[in-house]
Homo-oligomer: A and B are copies of this chain.
Amino acid sequence: MTYAIGVDFGGTQVRAARVDREGKVHAHRFVATAATNGPEAVIGQIERLVGAVMEDVGRAEILGLGVGAPGPVDPVAGIVLSAPSLHGWIDVPLRAILRERSGLPVAVHNDGNVAVLGEWRFGSGRGCRDFVYITVSTGIGGGIMADGRLLLGRKGMAGEIGHMIVAEHGPRCSCGNRGCWEAVASGTALSRAAGTALASGRRSSILALAAGEPIAGRHVMAAAAEGDEVALDLVRREGELLGLGLVGLLHLFSPERIALGGGVMHGLALLEPHIRHVVSERAMPAYRDVPICAAQLGDAAGVIGAAALMLADTSDFNP
């Protein structure tokens, strides 16, 4: 049997998995990222996890190592240009380093691109030529498959779908801009909206569900599931704001399907009617029937998609 190794790392976790040609995960390990210790510490974590998921498997059975890295990545050069959530990651030639140390073929892409590749080959996007994957959690990220290929653009920087402007004078975004889709519709934005609603003195079960923790999207969703009115209002508004961006993506990319993942999407059943309402009111008729569905691979989309970089039948994903 042959496998590819997939690695996905960010500010919170480093993950590695051994994946077969059907996208099945045979071994999966993760650790908390040594985010403040510089690139060499994190690269050491990657090496140890890769070693662990390759145990009991002959080297000849491993096709290669695919990596999804946070922040902008130059996939042609295999360089992580910057990783804002990690200390000291500027222009790290990760492909060359890992190739030398592992002896394996290596490909490096950004995490949004490997996640869309995973969902497209083995999850919610199977069978589509044109597909958009969106992850809504702290921020809004994702990626685009166009005619069966990753949309990369100059320096591999295409697909920053959280950074369309949907409100000129909207709240400040993590990128420095104002009114990006991410700034109004991410989990962070939903938490802020919940704080504002509760500060107005409306009665709600959200605070009790948060139980002293900072209010997060999941507390709002849990309260809404119980019928809490403040939470239901917040969910309606979150669905509308997600819908505004989705309408633009439908018109720009004309995908056959859009898949939604990330923490906020655990509440997709509650959000969906509001998203659907905006799409049916605002998208042009020919785009309204495009399925908007849940992503299928959950947290594993990244490692599976990273492995898929080495499972591709063409060289499209591995410049």
Contacts and interface: CB of A to CB of B under 8 A. Distances in A.
Interface in A266-301: 281-284, 286-287, 290
Contacts of A247: 163, 165, 177
A244 interface: yes
A49 B248 CA distance: 37
22 contacts: A72-B286, A130-B153, A130-B158, A146-B146, A146-B158, A147-B149, A147-B151, A152-B254, A153-B253, A153-B255, A154-B254, A157-B286, A157-B287, A158-B252, A160-B284, A161-B251, A163-B247, A163-B251, A163-B284, A164-B252, A165-B247, A177-B283
Interface string A10-21: 000000000000
A154 B255 contact: yes
Given A158-B252, A160-B251, A254-B154, A81 B286 contact: yes
Interface residues of A, number: 46
A267 B197 CA distance: 46
Contact of A161 (B155, B165, B244, B252): B252
A226 interface: no
A164 B253 CA distance: 11
Given A166-B165, A177-B282, A147 B152 contact: yes
Contacts of A256: 154
A153 B159 contact: no
A215 B175 CA distance: 39
A27 interface: no
B282 A159 contact: no
A133 to B, nearest CB: 14
Contacts of A178: 282
Nearest to A284: B175
A244 B154 contact: no
A165 B248 contact: yes
Contacts of A253: 151, 153, 158
A152 B129 CA distance: 10
Contact of A155 (B81, B176, B281, B286): B286
A77 interface: no
